[in-house]
Chain A
C-alpha cells in the first residue's frame, strides 16, 4: 500500500471491508481536515457517506453541449499532482478521503436511477479525484464495480491516470463498468502530470482491463499545446491503437486545457516551473481561460484526423465543455441539446456494445429530458 503519513478511519465505518484491509497503524476519528493541498494528499481518511452522493456533473452549463454524466464523489483529492488540477483551488478539506460504505452509495444510485428505467446513466467516480490512483482507492472502486453489476440502466465510469488495475481484473463486473484513461503525450505527462503512470504503463493496464472484458474509455482531455504537439498527439494515438482494438473503446472525449482565473495564480505558486498559464488563453463568459477558439478547433480537428488514420473513427467521440459552434467547426454538426447528446451516446453503446443497454434508447424521451436550465445557450 502507498505510504501515507497518517491513515484515519471514522468510527462509523471501522467495521467496513475497506477499513479492515488497512494496516494496524491507522488512527480512529474524524477527518483531520487538512487545508494544505499537498499535505492533504499524503494523509488518508476513510469515512462514511455524507449527504447526497449522486448528482449531475458540476460542469453542466447551458453554454456547452454537455455529456450529462452523473457523478458519485466517493473520493476527494488525489495522490497525483497534475499542475492543472482544479482541486487545488476547490477543496477546503484537502485530506485524501474515500467513502467506505459502498452500500449507501449503491442504494442511493439504485433508488434514483430506477425513477427513469428507460434511460442509460453513465456514472463517474472521478469528480474530485482519480478513481484508481493507488490502493486503497482502487480497492474501494472494486466494491462499486461489483455493486453496479446488477444495475442494468447504469454504467459505472472509472477514470484514471494510473495503472493500478489489479483489484478489477478478477471481478465479476457484468460488463457494466467502463475503465477510462486520461491520455496525453509523454511531454505533458512528464511536465504536467507529476506522479502519474507513464503512457506505456497506462496502455499496458488498458490491455489488461480490456482482456478482462471491460470496455475502455479514452479522454484526450486536457489537450495541451507545446512545441511539436501535432506529432506528439499523432504518435500517442498510434501508440494506443497499435495495442488496443477500436472495438474495445466505448467512447473518446476530447477537450483542451481550461481553468478559471483564480486557478492561474494557484498553479503558478504551486508549480512555478510550469509555463502552462503563460500560454495564450482568453477568458470566456463562463469565467474559464482557454486557448483561442481557432487554435482549439485546429487541435481537435488534428486529433480527429489522427483517430481516423488509426482506424478509431468508429468510436463515439465527443467534446467536453465546448459550445455548439466549436462542435460545428470540428464535426460539421452538433447535437441539438444536452439530452440529444445523452441519447447519441446511449444509442452508440446500444449499437456497439450489445447487452450494455437493456432497451433501444428512445430519442424522444432523451430529448424531453429536463436539466436545471433550458436548452443550449446558442
Chain B
C-alpha cells in the first residue's frame, strides 16, 4: 500500500497555474462563468489568505498541482504575490485526490447540472465508471445506478452555457436530459439569445421543443431558423426582456401550430366583439376536442342576478356564443 505524507511548501502561484490541471474542476466552473471573481478578490484584498492552498506533489518529478485554491492562486498572481504557503500532499491515489477535489467544491456541486459537470470532469480525467459508481455517486448523494450515471454523463456533454443556465434555474436531471436530446446547434443558438430573454425552465422546454419540431417539419437548420427575418428582428431588438420573451414565445407557437393559433385568434376576436365587458365569462377546451363552452358568473345579490340574466339575453351575446361554437 502506498503511504501518503504531507508537508508545508512555499510555491510560486504563477508556476502553479501553468500547464495541465488534472484537479482543476474549479476551472470548469470558471469556464461556465460561475466564479464571482470580483467578490472573492475584494474579500481576499480585505482579509488576505486565511488558509493555505492544497496541492499534490510529485516527489520524483518535483512538480506540484493545485487541488484546492485556484482562485486564491489567480488572486495572488494578479496582486504580484511571489510565493504562497501551500499544504502539499504526496503519495495519494487518483481516486483519493478526486475525493479531495469534490470536498473542496461540495458546497457548490449541489444541482443536477453541476453534479453532471463533476462526473464529466472525472471521466475526462480517466476515472473509471466503476469508481464513479462506487465512490462518487454516493458522495454526490446519488444512488449507485449505472443507468443514472449514463444519463449524467450524457448531460455533461452539454455546453457550459447550457449547464450554467440549468444550474442557475435548478433544472432536474430529466429537464437537462431533454436539452441533451436536441441538436447541439439548436441549443447553442437558443441559449445565445437567452441573455435578452426572461426564461423559466418550463419556457425553455416548451420553446426548444416547438422550435425543434418546426425545424424537423420544415427541413431547415437551426441557423436558418434563427437567421429568419422575423426571428432575428425580434431577438435583436432592445425590447424589455419580458415583453421580448412573450412575443418570441407567441411567434414560435404560431409557427408550430398555425392551424390552432389561427382558430384561437378567430375565437378570441368573437369573444372581444360580442362577449367582452359582460357580467359573465366564457371559456372553452383549448385543444378544441370537447364541444362545450363554460359560461360562468358570480353574483352577490338578487339584483346582480337580474342584471346577469338581462345581459345574457342580449342579442350580441347569443351571436358571440354562436360564433365561438362555429369553431368547436
The answer to whether A284 and B287 touch across the interface, beta carbons within 8 angstroms, is: yes
Give the one of A265, A280, A285, A286 with max B CB within 10 A. Answer: A280
- Of the stretches A109-117, A210-218, A271-279, the one at the interface is A271-279
Report chain A residues within 8 Å CB of B287: 282-285, 293
* Complex alpha-carbon distance, A286 and B287, angstroms: 11
* Complex alpha-carbon distance, A294 and B327, angstroms: 8
Which of B213, B214, B260, B291 is close to A292, meaning CB atoms less than 8 Å apart? B260
Q: Give the distance to chain B from A276, nearest Cβ to Cβ, in Å.
A: 10
Within 8 A of A (CB), among B241-286: 256-260, 263, 285
The answer to whether B290 and A325 touch across the interface, beta carbons within 8 angstroms, is: yes
Within 8 A of A (CB), among B192-226: 213-214, 216-217
The answer to whether A295 and B259 touch across the interface, beta carbons within 8 angstroms, is: yes
Report if A10 contacts B (CB, 8 A): no
Report if B93 contacts A (CB, 8 A): no
Given contacts A285-B289, A325-B290, A325-B291, contact A278 B216 (CB under 8 A): yes
Q: Give the distance to chain A from B154, nearest Cβ to Cβ, in Å.
A: 12
Report if A323 contacts B (CB, 8 A): yes
Report chain B residues within 8 Å CB of A278: 213-214, 216-217
* Complex alpha-carbon distance, A188 and B258, angstroms: 23
The answer to whether B288 and A282 touch across the interface, beta carbons within 8 angstroms, is: yes
Report chain A residues within 8 Å CB of B260: 280, 282, 292
The answer to whether B263 and A294 touch across the interface, beta carbons within 8 angstroms, is: yes
* Complex alpha-carbon distance, A191 and B141, angstroms: 45
The answer to whether B259 and A284 touch across the interface, beta carbons within 8 angstroms, is: no
Which of A275, A282, A290, A325 is close to B257, meaning CB atoms less than 8 Å apart? A282
Give the one of B181, B258, B259 with max A CB within 10 A. Answer: B259
Interface size on B, residues (CB 8 A): 19
Which of B258, B291, B327 is close to A280, meaning CB atoms less than 8 Å apart? B258
* Complex alpha-carbon distance, A286 and B216, angstroms: 26
Q: Give the distance to chain B from A131, nearest Cβ to Cβ, in Å.
A: 31
Please report the number of residue pairs spanning A and B whose Cβ atoms sit closer than 8 angstroms: 49
Report chain B residues within 8 Å CB of A293: 287-289
Within 8 A of B (CB), among A261-318: 265, 268-269, 275, 277-280, 282-286, 290, 292-295
The answer to whether A323 and B216 touch across the interface, beta carbons within 8 angstroms, is: no
Chain A: number of interface residues, binned into ranges:
20 to 34
Q: Give the distance to chain B from A126, nearest Cβ to Cβ, in Å.
A: 26
Q: Give the distance to chain A from B289, nearest Cβ to Cβ, in Å.
A: 4
Give the one of B214, B287, B327, B328 with max A CB within 10 A. Answer: B287
In chain A, what residue has the closest Cβ to B213?
A278
In chain B, what residue has the closest Cβ to A265?
B181
The answer to whether A292 and B288 touch across the interface, beta carbons within 8 angstroms, is: yes
Report chain A residues within 8 Å CB of B257: 280, 282
Report chain B residues within 8 Å CB of A286: 289
Report chain A residues within 8 Å CB of B328: 325
What secondary structure prevails in chain A residues at the interface with B? mixed
* Complex alpha-carbon distance, A279 and B260, angstroms: 12
In chain B, what residue has the closest Cβ to A296?
B289
* Complex alpha-carbon distance, A98 and B256, angstroms: 42
In chain B, what residue has the closest Cβ to A286?
B289
* Complex alpha-carbon distance, A283 and B291, angstroms: 15
* Complex alpha-carbon distance, A253 and B216, angstroms: 31
Give the one of A268, A285, A292 with max B CB within 10 A. Answer: A292
Contact with B along A26-44 (1 / 0, CB 8 A): 0000000000000000000
Given contacts A265-B181, A278-B216, contact A323 B290 (CB under 8 A): yes
* Complex alpha-carbon distance, A259 and B287, angstroms: 15
The answer to whether A285 and B263 touch across the interface, beta carbons within 8 angstroms, is: no
The answer to whether B263 and A275 touch across the interface, beta carbons within 8 angstroms, is: no
Q: Give the distance to chain B from A257, nearest Cβ to Cβ, in Å.
A: 14
Report chain A residues within 8 Å CB of B327: 294
* Complex alpha-carbon distance, A291 and B214, angstroms: 16
Which of A277, A283, A285, A290 is close to B213, meaning CB atoms less than 8 Å apart? A277
Q: Give the distance to chain B from A263, nearest Cβ to Cβ, in Å.
A: 14
> Which 5 A-B pairs have CB atoms at the shortest separation, nearest pair first?
A278-B217, A325-B291, A278-B216, A284-B289, A278-B213
Q: List 15 A-B contacts (CB under 8 A).
A: A269-B181, A275-B216, A277-B216, A278-B213, A278-B214, A280-B256, A280-B259, A282-B287, A282-B289, A286-B289, A292-B260, A293-B287, A294-B263, A323-B291, A325-B291
Question: A-side interface residues toward B, CB under 8 Å?
Answer: 265, 268-269, 275, 277-280, 282-286, 290, 292-295, 323, 325
* 17 extra interface residue pairs, beta carbon distance < 8 Å, beyond A278-B217, A285-B285, A325-B328: A269-B181, A275-B216, A277-B213, A280-B257, A280-B259, A282-B287, A282-B288, A283-B287, A285-B290, A286-B289, A290-B289, A292-B260, A292-B263, A292-B288, A294-B327, A295-B259, A325-B290
